[in-house]
């Protein structure tokens, strides 16, 4: 049996009364007090998340840009330093090994952040694709911790956090999917304006040994703004409302990007990249849709989506009673003939057919 892993913030979570759950081999806080309270805090003020289980890789060398254009589905060579980009790591058959965020740190240096559960698969694929290129890939995950501050008050909180200094970009000039260099208590800090909640927010990459002090400083700065520590349960309902896919649910090795609504991420006009020849899904392949229902009974992952006559149309990948919207929502893969927005389908909820409407994603979009 593999020994459970904990982040550098374990003691902080335990002192705050967190309940833990296994996630990608890591023991992560699922909640501190209430799923609903933590969810609403992020939508209304701010939540603080430990996401140190995520994996980080540096890519550097004279051929780093061309290497990433080959290794990933997107075009990373045209991204300027200071920016970030969502991309996909594909298998030869076009399936998704992982979805990642790539940060261009310098002309010949990049940072890739991937999902914790896919760390080994990502490391193997990145290493295998280097070939003869003047490029090196290093797994630097264990040296770093990652903390996310999410919500409308996040800028006010992070900008007021004691110990954060020498920020390379003015706060009002740092755009979404961009990053800035800074220091925390004199040590390197990367401040990325990215997130997984549908709200404004920042992800703070810091040395593992500085994580606890940064966590404390952010909580102190956010006290007057109503910040709360938030766990994986709230993170899941937040990302579901925002229509953001989760690997192992909406994304997998058997999923092709266009099926998941991620065809825009693939730079199909590139001369070559891994998966290029197989990236187009077969005719009739199921596609990802949003589903909205009335009442309080939500479809959960694995529940069938059926027609009125009971014929199976697909399967729910994620579902919940939306805390923000007050009604059940879900994402599901269904037959394309039933995927047009406004179409009525049914959720098979423990033998009861619950009507649901195909809905354009995302379910929730922040207003500013």
* Model pLDDT, residue 172: 87
Q: Is 73 exposed, middle or buried (0-12, 13-18, 19+ CB in 10 A)?
A: buried
Average pLDDT over residues 178-190: 97
Domains, the chain, in order of start with CATH, read 10-54+142-241 (3.30.1360.120), 62-113+245-281 (3.30.70.1400), 283-368 (2.40.30.110)
Question: What's the pLDDT tens digit per position in 316-364?
Answer: 999 999 999 999 999 999 999 999 999 999 999 988 999 999 999 999 9
Would you list the DSSP string of 151-199?
A: STTHHHHHHT-TTEE--SS-GGG--TTBEEEEEETTEEEEEE---SSSS
Q: What is the pLDDT of residues 159-172, one digit of tens each?
A: 999 999 999 999 98
Find the mean pLDDT for residues 178-207.
98
Q: How many angstroms separate the CA atoms of 100 and 79, rounded?
A: 15
- What are 234-293's pLDDT values in tens digits? 999 999 999 999 999 999 999 999 999 999 999 999 999 999 999 999 999 999 999 999
Q: What is the pLDDT of residue 1?
A: 54
Q: Dig out the tokens for 286 from the structure.
A: 């199921």
CA dihedral over 232, 235, 240, 243, signed as positive or negative? negative
Q: Over pLDDT 90: what percentage of the chain?
A: 97
How high does pLDDT run on average in the chain? Answer: 97
What is the rounded CA–CA span in Å between residue 282 and residue 8? Answer: 44
DSSP secondary structure string for all residues of 140-154: -GGGEEEEEEESTTH
Give the model confidence (pLDDT) of 13-31 as tens digits. 999 999 999 998 999 999 9
pLDDT of residue 4: 84
What pLDDT sits at residue 3? 79
Q: Secondary structure of the chain: what % helix, strand, coil (to 5)?
A: 25, 35, 40
Residue 57 DSSP class: E
Length of the chain: 368
- Please report the pLDDT score of residue 24 as a whole number: 87
């Amino acid at each position: 049996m593999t020994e459970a892993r904990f982040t550098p913030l374990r003691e902080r979570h335990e002192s705050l009364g967190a309940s833990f759950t296994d996630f990608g081999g890591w023991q992560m806080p699922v909640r501190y007090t209430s799923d609903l309270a933590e969810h609403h805090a992020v939508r209304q003020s701010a939540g603080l998340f430990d996401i140190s289980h995520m994996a980080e890789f540096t890519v550097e060398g004279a051929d780093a840009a061309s290497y990433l254009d080959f290794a990933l589905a997107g075009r990373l060579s045209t991204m300027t330093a200071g920016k970030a980009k969502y991309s996909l790591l594909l298998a030869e058959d076009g399936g998704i090994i992982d979805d990642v965020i790539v940060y261009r740190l310098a002309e010949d240096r990049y940072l890739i952040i991937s999902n914790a559960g896919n760390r080994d698969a990502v490391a193997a694929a990145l290493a295998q694709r280097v070939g003869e290129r003047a490029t090196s890939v290093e797994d630097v995950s264990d040296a770093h911790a990652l903390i996310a501050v999410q919500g409308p008050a996040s800028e006010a909180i992070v900008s007021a956090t004691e110990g954060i200094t020498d920020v390379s970009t003015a706060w009002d000039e740092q755009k979404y999917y961009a990053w800035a260099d800074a220091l925390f208590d004199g040590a390197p800090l990367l401040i990325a304006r990215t997130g997984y909640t549908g709200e404004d927010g920042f992800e703070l990459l810091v040395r593992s040994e500085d994580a606890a002090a940064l966590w404390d400083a952010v909580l102190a700065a956010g006290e007057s703004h109503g910040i709360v520590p938030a766990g994986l349960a709230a993170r899941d309902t937040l990302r579901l409302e925002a229509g953001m896919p989760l690997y192992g649910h909406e994304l997998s090795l058997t999923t092709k990007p266009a099926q998941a609504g991620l065809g825009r991420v693939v730079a199909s006009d590139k001369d070559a990249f891994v998966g290029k020849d197989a990236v187009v899904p077969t005719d009739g392949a199921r596609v990802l849709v949003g589903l909205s229902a009335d009442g309080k009974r939500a479809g959960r992952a694995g529940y069938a989506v059926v027609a009125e006559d009971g014929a199976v149309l697909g399967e729910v990948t994620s579902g919940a009673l939306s805390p923000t919207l007050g009604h059940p929502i879900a994402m599901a893969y269904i037959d394309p003939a039933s995927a047009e927005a406004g179409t009525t389908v049914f959720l098979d909820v423990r033998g009861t057919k619950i009507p649901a409407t195909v809905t354009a994603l995302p379910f929730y979009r922040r207003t500013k």
